[in-house]
Chains A and B, each alone.
Chain A
Amino acid sequence: MPYHKFKCSECIPEREKHAVVKGPGEDITSALPLGYLNTIPGSISERGCAYCGAKHVIGTPMKDVIHMSHGPVGCTYDTWQTKRYISDNDNFQLKYTYATDMKEKHIIFGAEKLLKQNIIEAFKAFPSIKRMTLYQTCASALIGDDINAIAAEVMEEMPEVDIFVCNSPGFGGPSQSGGHHKINIAWINQKVGNVEPKITSDYVINYVGEYNIQGDQEVMVDYFKKMGIQVLSTFTGNGSYDDLRSMHRAHLNVLECARSAEYICNELKVRYGTPRLDIDGFGFEPMSASLRKVGLFFGIEDRAQAIIDEETAKWKPELEWYKERLKGKKVCLWPGGSKLWHWAHVIHDEMGLEVVSVYTKFGHQGDMEKGISRCEEGTLAIDDPNELEGLEAMEMLKPDIIFTGKRPGEVAKKIRVPYLNAHAYHNGPWKGYEGWVRFARDIYNAIYSPIHQLSLVDISKEEIPTETKFLTQKMISDMNLSEEVTSSKDLREYTGKYDIISELRGKTYPDFPAQKKLSAV
């Protein structure tokens, strides 16, 4: 597995060990790119900061909370309305953001008084909200404001409110990942164990590392509820602040994104002995295996199997329709962290896609280990990619589609490669069985977009075909497919609605009477 040298990075030798190509028969013991090291200044890396890792990625999906940043206004403005983590309380956390608006005089004389006024004002503006998370920024960290002390003071004066403090300034660590770690640890240190929950089931879990992008959490919780499992809390998508204070009472921590949230699971194991079970909601097989594992843990495999059977029967023919049409298409799988290993093998196995490259902006070597071992031969793996390397890789690999963020997606568009938003999704949710079909549908629509294909034509140089006045995705995708496939009665296109989440809210579930005495475990 030789290191891959980018031409554009020959002048920065530090980059040499950040990219590898998986060779024949090789595994991660042959070579592994370096990871989670300081960024090279001026390289136009894709990384964000530790503040955004804490506040924007993990803190803000909590739905019933005032999310306040102690600093100048930019940090909070810039991380506001740039994600699609929805909630079932009318998206309070998406709509409102709060900054203490630190000015020059506060930098000189301190801003603790300003912070306290801010907290009181915010609770007054939203009298129904009694919970707050407070985030340090570069400015408030450097002047040394004691945010914890102010929070404690307010909580003493206003006993009805509760405030969480996260000290994760933007400069803390090579990327947003530093912030993930800090907020995980801060939450368990400050808040877990503070609230005693009402236990209503024999089977109680925390669902961890799940951010409810376009409703993923609600899809997954629907399965858990069908199995009679009580989801005590979700860390943090669509999660409730007080539920997350009672995490210590779960029987099991079911972990989705290990990159951003394994820290709290590991701590819950150490401090409360709660086991950690890693699951994966992306893809039919991983989804089924995950439900089976959870079922097995509680001895309710039959309930898991019932869901697996029903969902697979319903959605498999639709997934297969897309698989037939996506086979062999080349993908650059360029997400932020964990999706490179959540998706790499499954999109290959279940959709027939060829992953020609994986990258991670803020992942660690562990993420690359998992990602590379799940990739096919010849895959180019890049750690902390930068603008020019991304372009060089796309020119070299000529992918049919790229899964990445909004801005690099615009770059891909310009070199005529369609993109799907790996962080926020196009038309999600993408978790669960139906979600996975939606993902396949989005990939299909992107690759076979008639408009996108027109961008490949140079009307000044080529003869323009005059017969074709329009094309449909199907006319393009089915051109070379066999009759057997195109006229198959066993396969069908996606049949679901635009919004599949609203109807999950307020749904009723079968009653599984609790067997054991329901009290604190």
Chain B
Amino acid sequence: MQCEVKNKERVGVINPILTCQPCGAQYASIGIKECIGIVHGGQGCVMFVRLLFSQHFKESFELASSSLHEDGAVFGATHRVEEAVDVLLMRYPHVKVIPIISTCSTEVIGDDIDGVVLKLNSGLLKEKYAGREVHLIPIHSPSFKGSMVSGYDVAVKDIVSHFAKKDKPNGKINLFTGWVNPGDVTALKHLLTEIQVDATVLFEIESFDSPLMPDGNSVSYGNTTIEDLTETADALGTIALNRYEGGQAAKYLENEFDIPTIIGPTPIGIRNTDIFLQNVKKITGKPIPASLVRERGIALDALTDLTHMFFADKKVAIYGNADLVIGLAEFCLDLEMKPVLLLLGDDNTSYPNDPRIKALQENVSFEMEVIMNADLWELENRIKNEGLELDLILGHSKGRFISIDYNIPMVRVGFPTYDRAGLYRHPVVGYAGATWLGEEIANTLFTDMEYKKNKEWVLNVW
């Protein structure tokens, strides 16, 4: 077998690929309209996550802290949550949804956030905010478990299970996008519009790319409403694009409300987008229209110009969220490239049983490594000390210095991508994403050929 799947051997992390669970829960929180999450823990757990979001999107998002200080750490700090909820509700009259997101500190001291929510529901909310719709949703996301990916997954599940309520069929599908960018949501909605399918998109984050308006608008937020979330129980079916980011929520709806559910694949590349459309067709019975045949043709036309001429046999390393990494690897294979190293940034024990990874193990005929619980040193060390030669890196901005220091062209993809302008606006999913990714990869390789004077004259007659 050529494809080896294994865990990182070191116990520690040198240059992490992913951050911790509360970040994922916060990413879910900002996707909801009239919602401000409270992170129960030290202030850094919020402040730096808000900074990270603002680095990536060049926008500011609202998230609050319970501001755990020493006394709270010693004597318990649930009263800080109570105060935080009250202060937030008083000062933000539009707020209806407050996820209460735990962290390592408040999980270690054993603060009972579920109990606080019960207490607030029967006390403060009844007494002081009678008549106001307020949803407090406890989300357990200790940093010492999983990663930002599982934190997102847990939060989406907790949020959906809080709201989902059976009424009458709404004829829509639920679309769990996973951890994506505004550009991805636009591309996905476009595909669904073409196929004439109405969907509840979780989450509606196109508005994260918010305009600079003459009347001023100070913060960005998502547009998923309470109604959207409630209606998820009435859908005709659910498609969760990512197994590890939204998959749990999809399964919850399937088990609780018998909603037909398809999980995956991440629609990166032509083939996975085809399968996505096939899945939509299966659930809704709607045919795939000619307009998408044409769109697909445009993407194929663009990629065919590139594959065997420029992409064939190029060695690629890919790191980031598992679903993204696997989707990109599958696309790279279709593009004739060799994804020789896949780095999955957390220790989810389901990875070895992921059918997509099993398929790689069964079919890949070149030397390929899939490292679980990986960090960026797994990549750098192989380049620096073990002779790994690469033609391309696909990953987010935290690995930028590997590309810079070892002169390896890199296409920024995933989260965060703060060292390139506007990437959140471009999709990696759908036919549009396939085209953008293929051409971005090509142009990055071309620039590299020119800087290194590596057969740069080839491009004269291309």
Q: Which residues of A contact B (CB under 8 A)?
A: 8-9, 11-12, 38-52, 68, 71-82, 94-104, 106-107, 114, 117-118, 121-122, 125, 137-139, 141-143, 169-176, 387-388, 391, 405-408, 410-411, 413-416, 455-458, 461
A42–B64 touching, CB < 8 Å: yes
Report the interface size for chain B: residues with CB under 8 A from the other chain.
79
B13–A170 touching, CB < 8 Å: no
Q: Which of A38, A72, A125, A411 contacts B381 (CB 8 A)?
A: A125
B401 to chain A, nearest CB (A): 5
Interface residues of B in 85-135 (CB under 8 A from A): 85-88, 90-91, 103-105, 108-109
In the complex, the number of residue pairs spanning A and B with C-beta atoms less than 8 Å apart equals 258
Interface status of B260 (Cβ within 8 A of chain A): no
A49–B64 touching, CB < 8 Å: no
Q: Which residue of B lies closest to A362 (CB)?
A: B43
Q: Mark B54-98, 1 if CB is under 8 A from A, else 0.
A: 110011101111111110110000001101111110110000000
In the assembly, what is the distance between CA of A103 and CA of B14, in Å?
A: 16
Interface residues of B in 214-267 (CB under 8 A from A): 214-219
B219–A77 touching, CB < 8 Å: no
Q: Which of B47, B84, B87, B143 contacts A74 (CB 8 A)?
A: B143
B45–A41 touching, CB < 8 Å: no
B90–A414 touching, CB < 8 Å: no
A39–B22 touching, CB < 8 Å: no
Most A C-beta atoms less than 10 A away, residue of B23, B55, B104, B145 = B104
Q: Which residue of B lies closest to A139 (CB)?
A: B104
Chain B residue contacts of A49, Cβ below 8 A: 42-45, 47
Most A C-beta atoms less than 10 A away, residue of B21, B52, B90, B105 = B105
Interface status of B18 (Cβ within 8 A of chain A): yes
Most B C-beta atoms less than 10 A away, residue of A48, A77, A176, A414 = A77
Interface status of B337 (Cβ within 8 A of chain A): no
Q: Which of A38, A40, A100, A388 contacts B12 (CB 8 A)?
A: A100
B50–A407 touching, CB < 8 Å: yes
Q: Which residue of A lies closest to B12 (CB)?
A: A118
B73–A171 touching, CB < 8 Å: yes
* 14 A-B pairs (CB sep. < 8 Å): A43-B64, A46-B47, A49-B47, A73-B19, A78-B51, A95-B15, A103-B145, A106-B144, A122-B14, A138-B108, A407-B51, A407-B54, A414-B212, A415-B218
Q: With A73-B147, A75-B44 in contact, is A42–B68 under 8 Å at CB?
A: no
B72–A171 touching, CB < 8 Å: yes
Chain A residue contacts of B147, Cβ below 8 A: 73
A411–B219 touching, CB < 8 Å: yes
In the assembly, what is the distance between CA of A485 and CA of B219, in Å?
A: 40
In the assembly, what is the distance between CA of A80 and CA of B375, in Å?
A: 14
A285 to chain B, nearest CB (A): 34
Most A C-beta atoms less than 10 A away, residue of B10, B49, B69, B216 = B69
A142–B108 touching, CB < 8 Å: yes
Q: With A95-B401, A98-B13 in contact, is A413–B212 under 8 Å at CB?
A: yes
A410–B45 touching, CB < 8 Å: no
Q: With A44-B62, A82-B51, A407-B54 in contact, is A139–B69 under 8 Å at CB?
A: no
Q: Which of A98, A174, A416, A461 contacts B212 (CB 8 A)?
A: A416
B207 to chain A, nearest CB (A): 13
Q: Which of B11, B48, B80, B84 contacts A121 (CB 8 A)?
A: B11
B87–A96 touching, CB < 8 Å: no
Q: Which of B11, B47, B59, B347 contacts A48 (CB 8 A)?
A: B47
A42–B105 touching, CB < 8 Å: no
A42–B218 touching, CB < 8 Å: no
Q: Which residue of A lies closest to B108 (CB)?
A: A142
Interface status of B136 (Cβ within 8 A of chain A): no
Chain A residue contacts of B51, Cβ below 8 A: 78, 82, 405-407
In the assembly, what is the distance between CA of A102 and CA of B20, in Å?
A: 11
Q: Give 12 new A-B contacts, CB below 8 A, not counting A9-B91, A95-B15.
A: A40-B83, A41-B87, A43-B91, A48-B48, A49-B44, A77-B18, A78-B44, A82-B48, A170-B43, A170-B44, A414-B212, A416-B216
In the assembly, what is the distance between CA of A164 and CA of B215, in Å?
A: 52
In the assembly, what is the distance between CA of A79 and CA of B104, in Å?
A: 16
Q: Which of B42, B49, B214, B216 contacts A51 (CB 8 A)?
A: B42
Which secondary structure characterizes the binding site on chain B? mixed
Q: Which residues of B contact A (CB under 8 A)?
A: 10-16, 18-23, 36, 38, 41-45, 47-52, 54-55, 58-60, 62-70, 72-73, 80-81, 83-88, 90-91, 103-105, 108-109, 142-145, 147-148, 210, 212-219, 347, 377, 381, 397-398, 401, 405
B139 to chain A, nearest CB (A): 15
A101–B11 touching, CB < 8 Å: yes
Chain B residue contacts of A414, Cβ below 8 A: 59-60, 210, 212-213, 216-219
Q: Which residue of A lies closest to B79 (CB)?
A: A41
In the assembly, what is the distance between CA of A99 and CA of B177, in Å?
A: 30
Most B C-beta atoms less than 10 A away, residue of A41, A43, A75, A414 = A41
In the assembly, what is the distance between CA of A216 and CA of B96, in Å?
A: 46
Q: Which residue of B lies closest to A114 (CB)?
A: B11
Q: With A42-B84, A43-B64, A49-B43 in contact, is A73–B11 under 8 Å at CB?
A: no
Q: Which residue of A lies closest to B11 (CB)?
A: A117
A74–B64 touching, CB < 8 Å: no
A171–B19 touching, CB < 8 Å: no
Q: Which residue of B lies closest to A126 (CB)?
A: B14
B87–A107 touching, CB < 8 Å: no
Chain A residue contacts of B381, Cβ below 8 A: 125
Chain B residue contacts of A97, Cβ below 8 A: 14-16
B377–A455 touching, CB < 8 Å: no
B87–A42 touching, CB < 8 Å: yes
In the assembly, what is the distance between CA of A456 and CA of B218, in Å?
A: 14
Q: Which residue of A lies closest to B381 (CB)?
A: A125
A78–B43 touching, CB < 8 Å: no
Chain A residue contacts of B43, Cβ below 8 A: 39, 45, 47-49, 170, 175
Q: With A74-B19, A142-B105 in contact, is A48–B214 under 8 Å at CB?
A: no
Q: Which residue of B lies closest to A179 (CB)?
A: B44
In the assembly, what is the distance between CA of A476 and CA of B255, in Å?
A: 64
B13–A74 touching, CB < 8 Å: no
Chain B residue contacts of A39, Cβ below 8 A: 43, 65, 67, 69
The 5 closest A-B pairs by CB, nearest first: A74-B20, A170-B42, A42-B84, A49-B44, A78-B48
B219 to chain A, nearest CB (A): 7
In the assembly, what is the distance between CA of A461 and CA of B21, in Å?
A: 46
Chain A residue contacts of B91, Cβ below 8 A: 8-9, 11-12, 43, 388
Chain A residue contacts of B19, Cβ below 8 A: 73-74, 77-78
A143–B22 touching, CB < 8 Å: no
